[in-house]
């Protein structure tokens, strides 16, 4: 008889075990950069080799907290310094990300990337990837070997942002990926890279990660103006060449003329004010570009700027786009 007294407790234990939620399946991809960097000593934070550690070495100190909140799949995609990446690397990454997201097993992705070109890669992915699954990019300001390395916490925060999609469905509401860095949740659109962090622009600050809690306070935020079908591009080595030039006194028009002669398919001019460019070189650039059918776009010099008009008779206004955003959009448009 006494055994029957235990039956209600056994039943409760069984029910509790059955309703315990399964951990989400998250893939972490490494693309090199400072987050996988190694120096000759733990005190070195400025001179080091970027992207030399594999992904297992990068996450070794946070394995326990990672596996307590998610089923983690690790993918070593590429290594090295992000400043050496090219547009073909973006195409290969887009192909891999698309494949992983099409796998029903995958609930979301975290991409580890060098901070110097993270905005460029995020912009390309943003324009090409169509998904309601969460994608988060993160990296580090200090190499993995350094005392006080920030990579592990950034990675853990990025994973928590992916997991938070289960409750708040931010990926669907936003319709785009995010960057998580040093406690900030950012849109790549309007955000710029500073020395050791990222500075949000108008509408690109989406939320925060504080003490392991994910807080979104500005959805959807700035996002891709449109999505592109990049499947025809996968057969080529690189996206079309688009060059960026910054305005300066006595700007040498020959610099633009030369890259057009060498095959540039688009030109971005980072203009003064709200669309001004030195008059003499503007005339020559306009003539060269029109004769070769090369589009020219004027973009803002400062983060808070806006280009409404081409004040000097060259190029088309780039609106709120930064030079990076405009150049990658133009690559996709003219491919």
- The Cα–Cα gap between 118 and 115 comes to 5
pLDDT in tens, 131-155: 999 999 999 999 999 998 999 999 9
Which of 230 and 286 is assigned the larger pLDDT?
A: 286
As a whole number of angstroms, the longest Cα–Cα distance in the chain is: 101
The answer to whether the beta carbons of residues 123 and 176 sit under 8 Å apart is no
Q: What pLDDT score does 97 carry?
A: 95
pLDDT in tens, 267-322: 999 999 989 999 999 999 999 999 999 999 999 988 778 899 888 889 999 999 99
The secondary element (H helix, E strand) that includes residue 210 is: strand 205-210
Q: What pLDDT score does 61 carry?
A: 93
- What's the whole-number mean pLDDT along residues 225-253? 85
- What's the whole-number mean pLDDT along residues 12-40? 79
Q: What pLDDT score does 72 carry?
A: 97
The answer to whether the beta carbons of residues 181 and 113 sit under 8 Å apart is no
Res 165 pLDDT > 50? yes
Measure Cα distances from 309 to 143, 202, 254, 294, 314 in Å.
43, 20, 24, 19, 10
- Place 231 in a pLDDT band, splitting at 50, 70 and 90: low
**3-state class percentages of the chain: helix first, strand second, coil last, to nearest 5:** 40, 20, 45
- Place 113 in a pLDDT band, splitting at 50, 70 and 90: very high
Res 4 pLDDT > 60? no
Res 8 pLDDT > 80? no
Res 234 pLDDT > 70? no
The mean pLDDT value of the chain amounts to 90
In 3D, which of 239, 255, 236 has the Cα closest to residue 247?
Answer: 255
Helix axes 279-292, 253-261, angle to 10 degrees: 10
- The Cα–Cα gap between 233 and 223 comes to 22
The answer to whether the beta carbons of residues 266 and 297 sit under 8 Å apart is yes
Q: Which residues contact 3 (CB under 8 A, 6 or more apart)?
A: none
- The Cα–Cα gap between 158 and 61 comes to 16
Res 233 pLDDT > 80? no
3-state secondary structure of 291: helix
- The Cα–Cα gap between 241 and 325 comes to 14
- Place 19 in a pLDDT band, splitting at 50, 70 and 90: low
Question: How deeply is 304 buried, as exposed, middle or buried, from its count of CB atoms within 10 A (0-12, 13-18, 19+)?
Answer: exposed
Res 212 pLDDT > 70? yes
Tokens of 111: 């991409």
Q: What pLDDT score does 16 carry?
A: 47
């Amino acid at each position: 008889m006494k055994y029957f007294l235990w039956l209600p407790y056994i039943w409760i234990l069984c029910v509790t075990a059955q309703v315990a939620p399964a951990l989400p399946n998250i893939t972490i991809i490494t693309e090199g950069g400072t987050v996988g960097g190694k120096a000759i000593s733990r005190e070195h934070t400025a001179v080091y080799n970027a992207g030399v550690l594999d992904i297992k070495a990068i996450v070794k100190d946070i394995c326990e907290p990672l596996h307590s909140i998610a089923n983690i799949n690790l993918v070593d995609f590429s290594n090295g310094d992000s400043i050496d990446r090219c547009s073909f690397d973006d195409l290969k990454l887009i192909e891999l990300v698309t494949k992983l997201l099409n796998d029903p097993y995958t609930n979301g992705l975290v991409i580890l990337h060098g901070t110097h070109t993270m905005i460029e890669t995020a912009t390309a992915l943003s324009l090409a990837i169509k998904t309601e699954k969460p994608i988060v990019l993160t990296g580090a300001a200090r190499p993995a070997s350094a005392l006080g390395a920030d990579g592990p916490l950034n990675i853990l925060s990025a994973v928590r942002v992916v997991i938070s999609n289960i409750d708040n469905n931010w990926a669907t509401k936003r319709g785009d990926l995010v960057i998580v860095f040093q406690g900030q949740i950012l849109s790549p659109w309007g955000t710029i890279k500073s020395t050791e962090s990222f500075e949000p622009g108008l509408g690109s600050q989406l939320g925060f990660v504080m003490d392991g809690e994910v807080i979104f306070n500005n959805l959807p935020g700035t996002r891709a103006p449109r999505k592109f079908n990049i499947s025809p591009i996968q057969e080529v080595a690189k996206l079309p060449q688009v060059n960026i030039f910054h305005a300066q006194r006595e700007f040498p028009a020959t610099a633009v003329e030369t890259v057009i002669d060498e095959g540039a398919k688009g030109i971005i001019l980072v203009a003064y004010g709200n669309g001004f460019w030195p008059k003499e070189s503007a005339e020559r650039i306009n003539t060269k570009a029109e004769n070769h059918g090369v589009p020219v776009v004027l973009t803002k010099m400062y983060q808070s700027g806006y280009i409404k008009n081409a004040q000097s008779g060259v190029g088309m206004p780039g609106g709120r786009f930064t030079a990076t955003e405009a150049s990658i959009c133009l690559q996709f448009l003219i491919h």
